Amino acid sequence: MEEKDFAAHLTATMTGSALTMLIGVGHRTGLFEAAAEGPATSSELADRAGLRERYVREWLGAMVTGGIFTLDAGAYTLPPEHAKFLLGETSANLMPSLLTLSAFTGILPDLERSFAEGGGVPRSAYGPYLETLGAKTGDSWKHVYREHLVDGFFGAVPGLKQRLTAGARVLDLGCGTGNAVAVAARAFPASTFTGLDINANVVEQARETAKGLPNAEFAVGDAAELAGEFDVITAFDAVHDQDRPDVVLRRIRGALPDDGLFFMVDTNFSSDVAKNVGNPLAALCYSISLMYCTTTSLAEGGAALGAMWGTETAREMLADAGFRHVDVLDSPRPQNCIYACRP
């Protein structure tokens, strides 16, 4: 990249960072909801949201020049085709991810200290920043599960939906706030679903999420100490975050009968950085991996696989754990792939 081009690239990067912060401001102050009511001047929008016009006017300047709003004859508009990525109860809404990314800036001093001193940033350190900036654990995946879990994810594996319809014992490893379990339990009432997570707080949220579903239950526990037998074990973006992923994968294999299935959804990248060059999602995922996945694992003395462990490493680790048959399939999301793993 030539010097002039790199300068432009860096300016665009800084612009994106600044807009990310201001998008969070718009979310927390209700400006996007107010703008969705229709075109408005800065004064009208400020009145709708109950805010000070001078601040709203400057914020709108960033939104217009940043390509998020449009401006015509003094009226600012949030186009519907833009609003769907910032508002609403659908998987297109990127606001949960934007808020989470903003929250990560709070732990940067601890992360920088870890560069020099080693160790990492514990998961508990993120909580205050996520709460302050309005980010909620699990929101990024909640609508994805509702729209795509049954047909998009489970439907990608031949025979899986039929097996769940007939009735199976299913474990969701790293279940978080229980959104996947709740969707699956409703769709497949003949199957029983158990969610397992090491975080007691999110397990309590999961129980609330799946309240009233008789075939769903949750437990607090470490996946590295997994016991029992299940017909199907699922893991959504969870294995690479484990402190002892090799142990976890062996435990999963041990908890499955010979005709069992380990259904793993994880990031769809190469283990080789050079092969990820040109992938438009790679830089973002490496950044998230550093600011959360890698450092939280190192804080516990873990393996620190990171989100970018890649399909090559994943295949090797699955084989070492005893999975002789592994199919890597496309998922409804380009940043993820599906591993259908059988003994």
Q: Is residue 97 part of a domain?
A: no
Q: Is residue 223 part of a domain?
A: yes
Cα 232 to Cα 256: distance, rounded to the nearest angstrom = 7
Number of domains in the chain: 2
Based on the fold, state whether residues 183 and 297 are members of the same structural domain: yes
Write out pLDDT tens, residues 184-212: 999 999 999 999 999 998 999 999 999 99
Based on the fold, state whether residues 217 and 338 are members of the same structural domain: yes
Choose one of 87, 120, 154: the last residue of a domain: 87
Based on the fold, state whether residues 183 and 62 are members of the same structural domain: no
Confidence at residue 128, expressed as pLDDT on a 0 to 100 scale: 87
Q: At what angle do helices 3-29 and 53-65 cross, to 10 degrees?
A: 140
Q: Is residue 230 part of a domain?
A: yes
Write out pLDDT tens, residues 289-335: 999 999 999 999 999 999 999 999 999 999 999 999 999 999 999 99
Confidence at residue 4, expressed as pLDDT on a 0 to 100 scale: 84
Cα 33 to Cα 21: distance, rounded to the nearest angstrom = 17
Question: If you average pLDDT over residues 151-164, what whole number do you get?
Answer: 98
Based on the fold, state whether residues 172 and 290 are members of the same structural domain: yes
CATH of the domain at 73: 1.10.10.10
Write out pLDDT tens, residues 209-242: 999 999 999 999 999 999 999 999 999 999 999 9
Up-side HSE of residue 59: CA atoms within 13 Å toward CB? 24
Q: Is residue 214 part of a domain?
A: yes
Based on the fold, state whether residues 237 and 315 are members of the same structural domain: yes
Q: What percent of the chain has pLDDT over 90?
A: 90
Amino acid in the structure at residue 101? L
Choose one of 71, 87, 103: the last residue of a domain: 87
Would you give the DSSP letter of residue 217?
E
Cα 249 to Cα 224: distance, rounded to the nearest angstrom = 8
Confidence at residue 136, expressed as pLDDT on a 0 to 100 scale: 59
Residue 69, Cβ density class (10 Å: 0-12 exposed, 13-18 middle, ≥19 buried): buried
Based on the fold, state whether residues 30 and 162 are members of the same structural domain: no
Confidence at residue 138, expressed as pLDDT on a 0 to 100 scale: 61
pTM of the model: 0.91
Range of the domain at 201: 139-342
Based on the fold, state whether residues 83 and 145 are members of the same structural domain: no
CATH of the domain at 213: 3.40.50.150
Write out pLDDT tens, residues 9-34: 999 999 999 999 999 999 999 999 99
